[in-house]
Every structure is written in structure tokens, then in C-alpha cells.
Amino acid sequence: MNYITKLTYQTLFSVLYLFSTMPMNVLYKISDLIFIIIFKLSNYREEVTIQNMSRAFPNKKYKEIQSIEKEFYQNFSDMFAEVVKSISISPLKQTCKLDIKGFEFVEEQVEKGNNVIACLGHCTNWEILNCLPSKINTDVYSGYKRIRVPIFNKLMFDIRGRFGMHLIESKSVAKHILSNKDKPSLYLLIADQCPKKINVDYQMTFLNQMTSVLSGPEKLACATHSAVVYIYLTRKRRGFFEAVCQPICENAKDTQHFGITKKYIELLEQNIQDDPSCWLWTHKRWKR
């Protein structure tokens, strides 16, 4: 970054840090204000959200959809407050916000010398997983797509990496695993996005719609003979979360073609069905 960009970043980070030192109840008041702005005043992507929800839950009445929509936007607003708070919160307090279950499977696989690919979706506040390295006895990497604006790219790095998470570009994950065979780790991959047309090689029913899905994590796991898990993430109450590790396979190479992808999508759908407001409904998931 050049001097101007660095100065702009330092100014932005300082302002966010100042906000992050506020008590959480004050930040949630700001979140309530953001909720009013994006939901009641600006109607941010409401058309997309309502359309996605209506197609995903055709048996729900419109009032039910509206209730889910309202809860989603409140959770969406809370996420901003929670991410800002993570800039200055102590590691101990951050880890207390996340309960984990079933991650013994990950540690066992790593002890055997196997890498573990963790598939997850844009459910509730997925950024809370930045404290996962403090909760389990293994290195944790998170695949990401580089943000074009350098300031926001560095901000993402600083926030996500503050508690020991290693960030690596998604396109470089396979090379990294193969180059570090003697250092098995856990790799987090969010794979519920709408794939580019050129990458569509598998479709299945997801939330009552025929859906093109990414099979990249499965291909990566097969190429590296990795174990695969799904991380079932839920919001227990405001500001507190639970991550449950659900094993999919011990060695991806031994599974049927597209079997991992199919199981991942099924688990993701169950995650969403259990709490319909948790998913990122503003995303144009079925635009193709």
C-alpha cells in the first residue's frame, strides 16, 4: 500500500477500534439503529431476500416469511457490531462467546497425519470462528477471496487473524496442503456461493430448488486425501454461538463421486431449516 492508502487504513482502523471499546450493550444499540436503517428505511435487498425465502419455503405463509425476514435483518445487523467488537475484545472473552462440540474428530485426524477440510455456509455470524485456533489443538486456516480494495482486504486480515487464524487465498489452498504434508491442519471453506457458470459441474435440489453447487472442496479433499467435516453453526442467544463438528468422511478419496458435495449441501440445508433466519438471504444465490 502507498502512503495515502496506509494513512486511510490507519484512520479507519482507529475509528473502528474506538467503537470496539464500547460496551457490547452499547454496540447492540447501534446495531438496532443499523437494523432500522437497512430494514425499515432503505429496504436493503428486500426484494432478493423475500424472493429467496418464498422459494425456499413454499409452504410458509407470507406473515411467516416476513417474521423470518425481520429476524434475519436483526441478526445481520448484530453481526456488524460483533465483528467490530472483535477488534479490541480480549482473546479470553472472544473464546467464551463460542461453544464447540465434536472437534475431537478433527484433532484425532490431525494426530494421524491427515488434513481436515471443514465445509460451512454463511450461517449466523460465521466470523466468530476466528477464535477457533484458541479452542482446538491444531493450526486452523481459512480460505478467502481477495477483496479488490486494499484497505478492506487488510482490515479483513487483521480482524480474522487476530486470534491465530491463518488466512490463505482459496485458489492456493491445494498448493499449500500439498507443500506442507508434514503439517496437517484444519482448513475452513465457505462453499455455499453461486458458482460461476464455467465452474458448474453438479446440480441438486437445495431448499426446494434445483441448484448449481460448488464441488471445489470435494475435489480439494480428494486430491489431498483429506478428512471432511461440516461445521454446524448456530446462534444460541445474542452474542453467543455454538459450532458442532459433524464428520462427513475420514478420507475423501474413498467416497463416491459428488458424495461429499451432496452430504455437505444436505447438512447446510438442515442448518438453515433448523433456523431459517440464520442464512445470508441477501445473496443472489439462484441468479443463474
Sorted by where each begins, the domain ranges of the chain are 3-278
Classify the C-alpha dihedral 266-268-271-276 as positive or negative: negative
Interval 4-37: pLDDT, tens: 889 999 999 999 999 999 999 999 999 999 999 9
Under 8 Å CB-to-CB from 1, ≥6 apart: which residues? 9, 150, 151, 154
- The answer to whether residues 228 and 249 touch, using CB atoms and an 8 Å cutoff, is yes
Phi, psi of 246, deg, nearest 5:
-115, 110
- Mean pLDDT for all residues in the chain: 95
Average pLDDT estimate for 199-208:
90
> CA-CA distance, 140 to 151, in Å (whole number)?
24
- pLDDT greater at residue 23 or residue 288: 23
Given a cut of 90, whether residue 201 has pLDDT beyond it is no
Tell me what percent of the residues of the chain surpass a pLDDT of 90. Answer: 88
Average pLDDT estimate for 125-130:
97
3 state SS of 158: helix
Interval 248-259: pLDDT, tens: 999 999 999 999
pLDDT at 195: 84
Average pLDDT estimate for 128-134:
96
pLDDT at 190: 95
- The answer to whether residues 97 and 237 touch, using CB atoms and an 8 Å cutoff, is no
> CA-CA distance, 119 to 248, in Å (whole number)?
10
Q: Which candidate, 210, 57, 211, 193, places its Cα nearest to that of 121?
A: 193
Interval 167-188: pLDDT, tens: 999 889 999 999 998 999 999 9
Average pLDDT estimate for 190-195:
90
pLDDT at 88: 97
* pLDDT bracket for residue 287 (50, 70, 90): confident
According to DSSP, the residues that pair with 143 across neighbouring strands are: 168
Name residue, grid cell 471453506: 189
> CA-CA distance, 209 to 104, in Å (whole number)?
35
Q: Which candidate, 151, 162, 139, 175, places its Cα nearest to that of 93?
A: 162
Angle, CA of 160, 169 and 251, to the nearest 5°: 100
DSSP code of 213?
-
Q: Which candidate, 70, 66, 83, places its Cα nearest to that of 28?
A: 83
pLDDT at 1: 73
* pLDDT bracket for residue 3 (50, 70, 90): confident
> CA-CA distance, 247 to 40, in Å (whole number)?
40
Q: Which candidate, 115, 107, 157, places its Cα nearest to that of 133?
A: 107
3 state SS of 126: helix
Classify the C-alpha dihedral 8-9-14-17 as positive or negative: positive
> CA-CA distance, 187 to 169, in Å (whole number)?
11
Average pLDDT estimate for 78-83:
97
Hey, how many other C-beta atoms are within 10 angstroms of the C-beta on 198?
A: 6
Phi, psi of 169, deg, nearest 5:
-60, 135
Average pLDDT estimate for 47-63:
96
